[in-house]
Amino acid sequence: MSDAEPEVPRVTRMPDSPFVHVEGTFHRAVDPAHEHASLDGSRSPGRYSPAGSPTLYLSSSPAGVAAAMIAHADDRAADLLMLAFQVHADRIADLRDPAAMDALGVDPSAAAVDWQAALAAGRRPVSWDVRERLERAGAAGLIDPSRKRPGLWHLTLFRWNAGGASPRVRTAEDETKATTPTSTTS
């Protein structure tokens, strides 16, 4: 077994667009009691999601999941299950790309504001406004650089698995079942 970090998902620029295409394996930590609902998205408010706004938070690596969980140490189960997902997504806004953010009218620093402190103070987090602006521009989600571990990044989807359209997300186990031919024995 290799100690190497898994392959990072591919990010490619969409032609004549401020958006990117993302494809590859992503990771998410879930409470084992909710494993069956791992593709339902977040159940509580998050950096880009008011309560009731379906949002799927994923990381591009297991190390990214660990970094993301630092901010949620007080509001999660003690033991989490790490799951892998195969993602194919178009129309993703990359917060790491200043020119694309400028074209979309988004200030990436607004996404970095402490959303938990704003919520605790009874204020609407400005990162929710970032999501709304991107959705109005047609984004299906965003790439969010890790603030805890520079160089790592996360994928936040605003919609997924809607009638076969992009973004498409499957558990890695389902993807393996779909791509592995069955054998028959006589």
pLDDT tens, residue order, the chain (186 aa): 445 556 889 999 999 999 999 999 999 998 899 899 999 998 789 999 999 899 999 999 998 888 877 655 555 556 889 999 999 999 999 999 999 999 999 999 999 999 999 999 999 999 999 999 999 999 999 999 998 889 999 999 999 999 888 999 999 875 444 333 333 443
d(CA 13, CA 40) in angstroms, rounded, equals 27
Q: Which residues are 27's β-sheet partners?
A: 59, 84
In sequence order, which ranges of 41-162 are alpha helices (DSSP H)?
Answer: 62-69, 98-104, 108-111, 115-120, 126-136
What pTM was computed for the model? 0.86
d(CA 177, CA 180) in angstroms, rounded, equals 5
Q: In the prediction, which pLDDT does 180 show? A: 34
Strands 81-94 and 141-145 turn out to be parallel
Q: How far are the Cα atoms of 15, 97, 128, 178 from residue 114, in angstroms, in the given order?
A: 34, 21, 12, 40
Output phi, psi for 148, to 5 deg: -85, -35
- Contacts of the segment 69-72: beta carbons below 8 A, 24+ positions apart: 69/29, 70/148, 71/116, 71/148
Which secondary-structure segment (H or E) carries 176?
helix 172-179
Largest Cα–Cα distance in the chain? 67
By the 8 A CB rule, do 56 and 48 touch? no
d(CA 168, CA 165) in angstroms, rounded, equals 7
